[in-house]
Homo-oligomer: A and B are copies of this chain.
Amino acid sequence: MPILESLPERLLLGPGPSNAHESVLRAMSLPLLGHLDPAFIALLDRVKDGLRTVFGTRNAMTLPLSATGSAGMEAALVNLLEPGEPVVIGVNGVFGGRMAEVARRAGAQVTKVEAEWGTILEPGRMIEAIRTVRPRVVAFVHAETSTGVCQPVEEIAAAAREADAMVVLDCVTSLAGRPVELDAWGVDAAYSGTQKCLSCPPGLSPVSFSDRAIARVKARSTPVQSWFLDLSLLAGYYEGEKRVYHHTAPITAIYGLAAGLDRVLDEVLPARFARHAAAGERLVAGLEAAGFTPLVAPAHRLPMLTSVLLPERVQKAGEASVRTRLLEEHGIEVGAGLGPLAGRIWRIGLMGENARPEIVDRLLAALRTLIG
């Protein structure tokens, strides 16, 4: 298999995937078990426990969905919304916009609360919309991967619950890199991806649903539009004494996630969060010294995803060609801007295994050789 043997080595400092630790990659090559094998079910149960810890929840319905993070988003929205129901969605980047599109396709009445990309959703505006619309669901993004903004959650979630709305939170980029506290915050449904701060390969979407959310799903008057993502059906396989076949779980990916969670929990979460915070600060300082300007105000920066406006000499050289040289000459991937930020920013991820000072320094040194 020449093409596989000749894959280049990359330091993945884009918006994800991040690099996986050797122990995770090793786990991916373990021989397969059947998805109903008691040994596999025991492993799956341990993975669910680990996910509860990183999500900050006791939700029974916490599991690695058998698809990527976008499917987790879709699962949260299509289970909790019925056609015609009102939903308030915060949109200050690609992923809030994607939520609105997913909800629209599920037949919901979507009210968007928009904010400039690179800023947070003002809680007051979200709360006003909640009180006006009286939605069934309020959905927003904790860590906007398209901008690097970290959204304060609690005030909006409290107002949503007061209005008897379900709270859906996108934790794709935050999970295992900074505190996520679903139970304390009052979040009813959250989803993430394995390829960010969990430092596993992409392919699974950790999700968690509160008992309140499950009760809402059970009380639906219409079937969930997706058979594959229907929580009531998924519960038959992921919960309870006797596990019933729904679909074939991706065994190998779950091995990888088990190994990844082992590393996360061995490190202990507060230490892991501190490591991400320190790496993010070091990166911002270094980039500022090199002429880049952070897009996001200090109070709302994500440590694991830094978005920076480009200095003039990068713009002149063509930002895409500088990224290509970074990849080809230094083996380092960073991310481009999306939507209105395309061509204007880079997105630099320090996620999971990569949130370390030596990684930051390697990137800064490479940048110096390219742009002086």
Contacts and interface: CB of A to CB of B under 8 A. Distances in A.
Interface of A: 1, 3-4, 7-10, 12, 14, 16-20, 23, 25-35, 37, 39, 42-43, 46, 66-71, 74, 98, 101-102, 104-106, 193, 195, 201-203, 223-228, 245-253, 255-256, 258-259, 262, 327, 333, 338
A34 to B, nearest CB: 5
A34 B8 contact: no
A18 B34 CA distance: 8
Contact of A69 (B14, B104, B193, B247): B247
Copies of this chain assembled into the complex: 2
Counting chain B CB atoms within 10 Å of each CB, the highest count among A7, A37, A69, A101 belongs to A7
A102 B227 contact: yes
Counting chain B CB atoms within 10 Å of each CB, the highest count among A19, A37, A262 belongs to A37
B69 A227 contact: no
Nearest to A338: B245
A227 B70 contact: yes
Contacts of A39: 7-8
Contact of A227 (B10, B29, B105): B105
Contacts of A35: 17, 202
Counting chain B CB atoms within 10 Å of each CB, the highest count among A26, A34, A74 belongs to A34
Given A32-B10, A35-B17, A225-B105, A3 B43 contact: yes
Contacts of A259: 1, 4
22 contacts: A1-B259, A3-B43, A4-B43, A4-B258, A4-B262, A7-B39, A10-B37, A12-B32, A14-B34, A16-B248, A18-B32, A19-B32, A34-B333, A35-B202, A67-B71, A67-B228, A70-B228, A71-B228, A74-B227, A98-B227, A195-B248, A202-B248
Counting chain B CB atoms within 10 Å of each CB, the highest count among A20, A106, A225 belongs to A225
Contact of A31 (B25, B249, B253): B25
A203 B253 contact: yes
